[in-house]
Structure formats: C-alpha cells, structure tokens
Amino acid sequence: AQTVTQSQPEMSVQEAETVTLSCTYDTSESDYYLFWYKQPPSRQMILVIRQEAYKQQNATENRFSVNFQKAAKSFSLKISDSQLGDAAMYFCAYSPPQGAQKLVFGQGTRLTINP
C-alpha cells in the first residue's frame, strides 16, 4: 500500500522569506501523481500544485514550486516570498493515475508566518 510521510508537524518562517516543506512517499508504481493541498484555518482545502511522475520538470505555480526526486521518492514544496496568507496546514498527497482519485494524504505540516 502506498504511504505518504510528512516529517515536519510544524514549521515557521518570517514573512518574505523562503520555506521548504518535506514529503516522502512509498509506492511500487512507476506512474502516479503527487499533490500539495493547503487548508487555511477554518477554510476549505484547496490544491496548491500537482506533479505528474513521468515529467522530469518540477512543477511551478507562482511563488510555489516543488522539488520532485523520483528515485528518492521525495516531493518537497518550496514557498518563496512567504506571505501572511500562506499560513495553513499543508498536506502532501499521492494518487494513482487511473479512474477516480484515491488520494493518500500525509499527516500535514502546520505553517506559521511570522510578521
């Protein structure tokens, strides 16, 4: 069975600085998808960024980028120029490619932004 591990329960960063959240996963599949979701306090979970395993190039969405290391089964999220609105729980998730998504989530990392 696939598993996702986020080893940092909590992280904090100064506003405008850069922070990296770690995620490792375990799978025997060669084709899959990885996601980072954000859950702000008392607000809905939203997708931050996604990565297809067959793509070598790391995904980027504005200030958010990933470092995808397939051999190491590592998928970290880098947030540049951190803003107060980035404060949230961040969840790493894995999905096989076919059919309805069966997302496997990590335990989450609570990110605090210090003004």
Positions that interact with other proteins (CB under 8 A): 4, 33, 35, 37, 43-47, 50, 52, 91, 95-108
Count of H-run helices and E-run strands, the chain: 0, 12
Single-letter code of the amino acid located at 76 = S
Give the SS3 label for residue 23.
coil
State the nearest-atom distance from the C-beta of 2 to other proteins, in Å. Answer: 12
State the nearest-atom distance from the C-beta of 114 to other proteins, in Å. Answer: 23
CB nearer other proteins, residue 74 or residue 96: 96
State the nearest-atom distance from the C-beta of 26 to other proteins, in Å. Answer: 14
* The pairing of beta strand 109-114 with beta strand 10-14: parallel
Burial grade of 33 (CB within 10 A; 0-12, 13-18, 19 or more): middle
CB nearer other proteins, residue 16 or residue 46: 46
CB nearer other proteins, residue 82 or residue 111: 111
Give the SS3 label for residue 22.
coil
CB nearer other proteins, residue 63 or residue 102: 102
